[in-house]
Each structure stands twice: as structure tokens, then as C-alpha cells.
Amino acid sequence: MTSAAPPPPPPPPAHPVVVVGNGPVGQTAALLLARHGIPVVLLDGRSRRDPEGSKAICQQRDVLDVWAWAGVPQIAEEGLTWTRARTFYRTHELFSVDLPDPGASPMPPFVNISQSRTEELLDERIAREPLVEVRWGWTVEDRQDHDTHVRVRCSTPHGPDDVDGSYLVACGGARGSALRTALDVTFPGRTFDEAFLICDIRADLPGWESERRFYFDPTWNPGRQVLIHPCPGSVHRIDWQVDPTFDLHVARRDGSLDQRIQQVLGPDVPYEVVWSSVYRFHARLASHFRVGRALLAGDVAHLVSPFGARGLNSGVGDVDNLVWKLVAVLRGWAEDSLLDSYEVERRAAARENLEVTTATMDFLVPRTPAAAEARHTLLTAAVHDEAARDRVDSGRLAEPFWYVDSPLTTPDPSRPWPGRPPRGEPPAPVPGVVLPDAALQVDDALLADPEVRPTIGRLRMRDLVRGRLSLLVDSAEAAAAARRTLDETLPAGAPRTVVDLSTLPGAEAVMAGLAWEEGDWWLVRPDAHTAARLPGGEGAAEAVARVLGRRG
């Protein structure tokens, strides 16, 4: 069912990877590297973690898959699952979107869980990981590249100190300006003037626990928007657009904050304010994601508005993309130039997220009187006009990016990329999209393979392919040929597998999600993105070489 295990990998590199920023993106990077046997030093300039507030709460199923593979399935298990996004204009419901399930994944489409709890669960896993060393109070001041490593200059509680690493992965978050300056990276973009009030409130609200609600121009926030998300423990996150002059301290003192909450919940619903804050949004993109041996990921590389939950989700997508390439380079399976594809692929993903979220913000908060009037006309028409409803933008939800234009992807002329899929639908099944997932029914022989284990619940398709280069086929004959291709093309020790889907009960959903045709081979990268569709296996060796940044 799968290929024989390759020879053991070579010893770890002479220097650890230095990860800067002990937030969820940096934590994920550290755990993924450790999963591959790469030692990590994880630095953070703070003296300790700040556990306050929900912050980034909405986690998409493919990010949950990454965390499960990194050893933290509890995020998916503890998160509150929601499957529907409802949008209202005043008292009218305009539409609801039921979230797609391409490939019958056992992972929920989205879960809501506070960022502080996510970080706590990641911390617990890191504490059990001997390959990750955490250093609080270490602030990066500068870095210097050398032929074989990068030297990171830090200020620490005991004075200046250096850390040598094979590479530096910068995950310093939205406040990473000093690190960008040290790397000579600019951060162009815009800051939105509008203010938003966020409150985490604990209340019993039957029927609200499985859906996201977005309100345009409700009577209790006229002319502006309100977004409501459910969270575990009967907590609900409410975001109000407020006047730029709004003062939270005054609102707490004069009772107007309580009045706002009661207008949403009703005057007789008891509640507790768990946390509240005011913030503004940014739309920014770093000029480079790679500077020598330093690579930027997460909010230090890109900032977007939260409508659509494309912040933390895209940051995890960054390090999921980066880590397997770092491992391939550090193990000697690929040249350093493979890392250039990280910038190509993830800057394209960031541009997509910026385009989507900026369009949403421009609709939510029109920039001119003419735009405001056009929005009012559209929302009024949308109450009765389905065509108008399709143009209402309350936030396109996070989705994994499609690497259709990547230098690592072998395009399929018979399946041209049709572009961004309609809202709520999966992307077209072309090389570059993420592999559909599905729960499998497997025999004991497969589970006896020490490299195959379920990361959460039942064994899933992605449990078979993550962390290795994979060829998916549909017959025993094709499987034998695919094994020969991988063994002849990949360097010794590089993880690889062949999966004959015809022998896997449950894989029918994966084949349907790929629009499988008889005799197809599909090449899958270690981050579970497809890289090639190869009818009859034609061109397989070239496609495998291309994924590692080689030609021929």
C-alpha cells in the first residue's frame, strides 16, 4: 500500500534553526521542524506570555491539520465547531453560507478557540519536545550571514549574546519592525482609520453556538457593522465598528459599553465581560520574505484585516510551506535555491489575502460618499434580489492558497486554472491546490508501519502523505512503477511514499475531489499540496525533480 521506508536521514545540521517570535506561528514552525528531527532555538523578546484576550480565534481546517501533524490535535478537539456564516442587513437575513467539505475531511471546516488557549496547547507540546529550546527575554538586535550559518545578535536578561543558526525564521508578529529594519525589509501598505471595539463576553445564547453572524447597519449600531463569533465555554466574541474617537475607558465608566452589549444580547440576558479592547486594521506586505539566511513568516511579513480570518491561518500556511523546504536543504536533498520558492509562493498567497481583505474593508467602510451610497443601494436591493446578494462582501473566509503558478508545480494543459473559486466552494482540481482529505478504513498491516499513525481520530489521507513526497496511483502496476520513479529520482534518505488509492476504502472521496481519471498519477508535496497530475505517469521523474527545485 505504501513504499518501503527509505534509509535513515543523515545527522541533524551543525547549527539549530533560530525561530524568532514565540507566538502561534513561531511555535508551529518550531514543532514542525522538530517533527523532522531539526533542533530549534525559539527566541522571544517578551519576559513571558501574555494570556489576555481571544485575539485570533477562527482556525480553518487545513491549519488544524497542520497542528495535528505537529502533535497538537487538541486545538481541533477543544475548539468550538461552526459550519455556517450568516449575513444580515438591518433586520433581514441576506444569505448564509454552509462551509464546503471537499473530500469528506473529518476535520471541522472551522473551529473557534482563543489565541491564548491555542498558544497554551502549543506550549504544552513544546515542553515535551527535547529538540526545541525556548528563550524568553531574548530580543534580536541584528544578524549577520556567513557561508554556513547566520549569527543572531540579541539583547538578553544577562546582557548582549549571540546565537548561531543554520537559518533564521522570523515570526515576530505585527510588532516586528525592529527585525524588519535589521533585515533591510520595508513594509509598505495602509492603515485604516476606522476603529473597532472587541469584547469577549460570557453568556448563554442558545442557537448562536454553531454560526458566525455578521450585521450590516443593525439598529443597535446604525450605519456601521457588527460581527459575532461563538467560542468555547459560552464565550462570544463581538466586534463593533465604532467612531474613530471612541474611548473604551470612558465607555466602561459611563455604562455605554454595557448598553452596547445589552442591545446585542437583549436586556434580560445575564453576561460577563471577559476582555475588551479597541484596535485598527492594517494592510501591509513586506518587500521581501527572504533575505539571505533569514525568512519572514506570519504578521511580520504581511498584515490583513481580520474579516475572513486570514491572519493567523495564513501565518501557519507560511511555515507549513517553509519548513519542508528548510528540511530538504538542511538534509542535503535540495539546494539552498529551493528556499527562493518560499518567497514566490507565499508572497503570492499574501497578495491574494490582501486583495480579498482590502476589498472587504472597502465594502464595509466605504472611502467616499459615492461608495457609501452605492453600498446602501446594493444592501437595500439585496433584501429581495439574489444577484445583488452575491455582491455583498461580509468577508471571504480563509482558504489554503493554490500554488498553480509556482516554479515547483507542473501545470496540466488539460486543466487550466479557472481562477479564484466562488465564495464557499472548493478550488478547481488542478495541480497546485491542497490535497482533499478523507477518513480511511485501513487494515492492520498499514497501521503497523511506524511512519503511519493517525494524528487525530481515524487515519486520514493526509496522515499518509504529510512530511514526504508522495505519488498517488490507482493500481498495483502503477504503484510499482511509481516506487521505481521515486527511488531513481529522489536522493537517498528523502522520505517518499506511494499510495495505491484503489486499495484504500474511503479514498473514493479523495479521488472525487481530484476529479480522478483512470490511470492518473498525482504528485503530492510534503505540505499536502498537489504538484502535478500525470496521466499514465508520463513525466513523473521531471515533476518530482521540479518539486525539489531541480530540472531533469
Of residues 500, 520, 529, 522, the one with CA closest to residue 437: 529
Task: Classify residue 419 by burial, with Cβ atoms within 10 Å: 0-12, 13-18, 19+.
Answer: exposed
Residue 304 near residue 145 (C-beta atoms within 8 A): no
Grid look-up 471546516 returns 109
* Residue range 447-470, pLDDT digits in tens: 666 667 788 878 899 999 999 999
* Residue range 65-118, pLDDT digits in tens: 999 999 999 999 999 998 788 999 999 999 998 876 545 788 888 999 999 999
* Residue range 166-201, pLDDT digits in tens: 999 999 887 788 889 989 999 999 998 889 999 999
CA distance 478 to 361: 49
> Helix or strand or coil: residue 13?
coil
C-alpha 280 chain-centroid distance: 22
pLDDT tops 70 at residue 421: yes
pLDDT tops 80 at residue 6: no
Sequence-ordered list of residues with C-beta below 8 angstroms from that of 317, at least 6 positions apart, any chain: 62, 63, 346, 349, 400, 401
pLDDT tops 60 at residue 124: yes
What pLDDT does residue 14 have? 78
For 468-494, the DSSP string reads: SEEEEESSHHHHHHHHHHHHHHSPTT-
Beta bridge partners of residue 469, listed in sequence order = 496
> Helix or strand or coil: residue 542?
helix
pTM, to two decimals: 0.95
Task: Evaluate the CA torsion angle 252, 253, 256, 258 in order and state its sign.
Answer: positive
Report the percentage of the chain scoring pLDDT > 70: 95
**What secondary structure letter does DSSP report for 5?**
P
Q: How confident is the model at residue 307 (pLDDT cuts 50, 70, 90)?
A: confident
Mean pLDDT of all residues belonging to the chain: 93
> Helix or strand or coil: residue 258?
helix
Residue 37 near residue 260 (C-beta atoms within 8 A): no
Distances 96 to 68, 127, 406, 441 between C-alpha atoms, Å: 29, 42, 34, 33
Q: What are phi and psi of 141, to 5 degrees?
A: -105, -35
* Residue range 475-531, pLDDT digits in tens: 999 999 999 999 999 999 999 999 999 999 999 999 999 999 999 999 999 999 999
What pLDDT does residue 461 have? 94
CA distance 78 to 112: 9
The predicted model gives 122-151 an average pLDDT of 96
What pLDDT does residue 8 have? 63
Beta strands in 219-292 (DSSP E): 225-231, 235-242, 272-279, 282-285, 290-291
CA distance 438 to 550: 31
Question: What domains sit in the chain, N to C, each tagged with a CATH number?
Answer: 17-76+111-188+283-361 (3.50.50.60), 195-280 (3.30.70.2450), 402-552 (3.40.30.120)
